[in-house]
């Protein structure tokens, strides 16, 4: 995918996240693979079933915004370590302000 397609996917993800982000969300990234798959990574500070449900809803909304079928890989990472210690692939779409 090229930068225009990546930007389009970022906008789709932003739209899907409206109203779903809670204070527990630390980071959300989007990465595109060479096989036209989209990888979404959600970093949560603590494990919370309600936030996991929000992630599922975001993924569903994201897929609904697609103009063609895509392969979607969604991972939830629960980690309270400093964010610079986490190796997150792709483009930062959401980042919580942290000390």
Does the pLDDT at position 8 exceed 90? Answer: yes
- For residue 35, the enclosing domain spans 3-95
- Which three-class secondary structure string do you get for the chain? CCHHHHHHHHHHHHHHHCCCCCCCEEEEEEEECCCCEEEEEEEECCCCHHHHHHHHHHHHHHHHCCCCCCEEEEEEEECCCCHHHCCCCCEEEEECCCC
Q: Where residue 68 sits, what CATH number does that domain have?
A: 3.30.70
- What is the per-residue pLDDT for 97? 93
Q: What predicted TM-score, i.e. pTM, was given to this entire model?
A: 0.94
- Number of independent structural domains in the chain: 1
Summarize pLDDT for 26-53 with one digit per residue, the tens.
Answer: 999 999 987 779 999 999 999 999 999 9
């Amino acid at each position: 995918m090229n930068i225009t397609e990546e930007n389009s996917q970022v906008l789709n993800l932003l739209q899907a996240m409206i109203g779903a982000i809670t204070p527990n969300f630390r980071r959300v990234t989007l990465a595109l693979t060479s096989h036209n798959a989209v990888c979404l990574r959600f970093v949560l500070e603590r494990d919370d079933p309600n936030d996991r449900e929000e992630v599922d809803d975001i993924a569903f909304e994201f897929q609904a915004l697609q103009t063609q079928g895509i392969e979607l890989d969604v991972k939830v990472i629960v980690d309270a370590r400093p964010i610079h210690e986490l190796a997150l692939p792709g483009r930062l779409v959401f980042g919580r302000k942290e000390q």
